[in-house]
Amino acid sequence: MTNLPALRAAPKLLFIVTEDWFFASHFLPMARAARRMGLDVIVATQVDRHRGVLEQAGIRVIPVATDRRSGFAVPQEVARLVGVLRHERPDIVHCIALRSIIAGGLAGRVSGVRRYVLAPTGLGHLWISRGRRAALGRAVIKRAAAWLRGPGTVFLFENADDPAELGVSTARGDRIAFVGGAGVDGNAFPARPIPPDFPPLRLAFVGRMLWPKGAGLAVEAVRLARARGVKVTLDLYGAPDRSNPDAIPEQQLEAWGRAEGISWHGAVEDVPRVWSEAHAGLLPTYYREGIPRALIEAMACGRAVITTNVPGCRDAVRDGIEGLLVPPRDAAALAGAIAALTPDRLGEMGAAARRRFEERYTEEAVMAAITGVYRDLLAVSPPAPARR
């Protein structure tokens, strides 16, 4: 156990995150790292079906109602979080994703919080949308980042592009740390030999069924490749996120699943099995990712990935080494990359993908990085926030 400053018997770390499933699927390694340090770990979140998973990990769960579909619900979320923070008086507040940074940051300032970890994870829908509302939302996020900066704040990013987008830099005195996504357990996602039955080339897409994640582009590219004589199939795994404005309608997914060479399987629990049966991954996202977990899981299983040259994806995959990078929103380029995959290339890039995963994206690497962040924060005594 890491030695900590004598703040109290068990310093408190409180995560603020919109959904319990999101925390359970992505951030348990960070919570486990904090528990190993001896911290009292709390998660304030909307509770659905994953409370038991969190509590089994030794995490205290505080239900906080939220509505991701509406920005007008933020004031009510702030008020609820103020009550939580004043009651718990945490030593560190770790806000996950942009909405939680806004609501948690405002609530923390009102409640006298002195130490923050602000983790955008990715810039998401807001950074690919156009129009006045999106521009206003981006301005609010940047203003919140500026308002919360200080000696007691660490900005935690997953890729090299996002700090500049938020106006955050070490040159301005900001404290910045990086993690390789949320971390993946290499034992749960073991490398498997490439299936020998080639052709057809079997591609898998795993992710939320959102238009910007690229499922539609994947379908179009596979159709183009098949029209050119490439023997290829596509399996889509994932469910629509109905609270997201970019969700793909279920009727559309069912229609794709009836097309020759394309299958939609819905939500999937056994993701390692998906990758054991696929030759390669396909993730033509133009969403503003942190680092996509689906991409890291495929790499962990020793699969090359065709993905897009966008933030997060290009941090993980180097073109021609762990996979292939194509321009975003370009189905023709995607079809060309599909046609370029041969058994030899799949084996070489799959092995390189597993090596890169082991170097950067394991749970152990993420746990070590976040332990350092928490330890450094607890060692400082930032001033009380100024009244505004």
Do 112 and 97 sit in the same domain of this protein? yes
In CATH, what number is assigned to the domain containing residue 297?
Answer: 3.40.50.2000
**What's the whole-number mean pLDDT along residues 269-290?**
95
Do 81 and 222 sit in the same domain of this protein? no
Q: What is the mean pLDDT of the chain?
A: 91
Q: What is the predicted pLDDT for the residue at 72?
A: 57
**What's the whole-number mean pLDDT along residues 153-179?**
92
Do 117 and 143 sit in the same domain of this protein? yes
Do 143 and 287 sit in the same domain of this protein? no
Is residue 245's pLDDT more than 50?
yes
Do 108 and 250 sit in the same domain of this protein? no
Q: What is the predicted pLDDT for the residue at 164?
A: 92
Q: Is residue 42 part of a domain?
A: yes
Q: What is the predicted pLDDT for the residue at 385?
A: 61
Structural domain harbouring 261? 201-360
Do 346 and 236 sit in the same domain of this protein? yes
Do 210 and 160 sit in the same domain of this protein? no
**What's the whole-number mean pLDDT along residues 290-312?**
96
Q: Is residue 245 part of a domain?
A: yes
Do 159 and 205 sit in the same domain of this protein? no
Do 41 and 146 sit in the same domain of this protein? yes
pLDDT, tens digit (0-9, with 9 covering 90-100), for 39-79: 999 999 999 889 999 999 999 999 998 765 655 567 888 99
pLDDT, tens digit (0-9, with 9 covering 90-100), for 319-355: 999 999 999 999 999 999 999 999 999 999 999 999 9
Q: Is the dihedral of CA 335, 336, 340, 346 positive or negative?
A: negative
Do 259 and 318 sit in the same domain of this protein? yes
Is residue 369's pLDDT more than 80?
yes
Q: What is the predicted pLDDT for the residue at 7?
A: 46
Domain count, the chain: 2
Do 61 and 126 sit in the same domain of this protein? yes
Q: Is residue 17 part of a domain?
A: yes
**What's the whole-number mean pLDDT along residues 113-128?**
88
Do 119 and 80 sit in the same domain of this protein? yes
**Hey, how many other C-beta atoms are within 10 angstroms of the C-beta on 49?**
9
Residues 6+ apart with CB under 8 A from 40: 10, 11, 12, 13, 60
Is residue 302's pLDDT more than 50?
yes
Is residue 1's pLDDT more than 60?
no
